[in-house]
């Protein structure tokens, strides 16, 4: 997949917050759209959507990806971050990656975690702003 195709894939992915005690239904987050989460999370100022799956260009086994996400979740909790299970799903539905919607995670801290877990990009948004795709490598900026 070349750079243009990869960027297009990120932009067209559906980033889902999975239904849980806080969210009564799955919530779809899209790059470039404003999503109002204040009714479910009145104290949210910003958020990030990140996975530890498949550090590019590697495609890992489901077992290895689960281990990586468990390590990531453990670190998030140890640092006091609230998170919700999520899933990035390709536009055509042919692939997905389990992920985390992380409350009140600054863009700088999200960049730190994304780089630590070998991710090319993540989604970040501040309240009442459009969700943005943030790349971790200068070649994609």
pLDDT(14) > 90: yes
The residue ranking higher by pLDDT, 92 or 140, is 92
Residues 50/71, Cβ–Cβ less than 8 Å: no
Question: What residue segments make up the domains of the chain, in order of their start?
Answer: 3-140
Residue 115: name the closest of 141, 134, 132, 136 by CA: 136
HEC profile of 77-127: HHCCCCEEEEEEECCCCCCEEEEEEEECCCHHHHHHHHHHCCCCEEEEEEC
Tens of pLDDT, residues 69-120: 999 999 999 999 999 999 999 999 999 999 999 999 999 999 999 999 999 9
Distance CA 96, CA 99 (A): 9
Go through the chain and tell me how many residues it has.
141
Helices 62-78/107-116 angle, 10° precision: 140
């Amino acid at each position: 997949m070349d750079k243009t195709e990869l960027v297009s894939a990120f932009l067209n992915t559906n980033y889902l917050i999975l239904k849980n005690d806080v969210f009564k239904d799955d919530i779809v987050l899209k790059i470039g759209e404003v999503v109002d989460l204040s009714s479910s999370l009145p104290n949210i100022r910003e958020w990030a959507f990140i996975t530890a799956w498949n550090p590019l260009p590697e495609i890992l086994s489901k077992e290895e990806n689960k281990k990586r996400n468990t390590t990531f979740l453990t670190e998030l909790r140890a640092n006091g971050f609230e998170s919700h299970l999520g899933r990035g799903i390709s536009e055509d539905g042919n692939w997905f990656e389990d992920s985390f919607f992380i409350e009140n995670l600054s863009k700088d801290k999200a960049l730190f975690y994304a780089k630590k877990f070998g991710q090319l990009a993540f989604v970040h948004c501040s309240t009442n702003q459009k969700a943005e795709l943030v790349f971790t490598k200068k070649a994609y900026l």
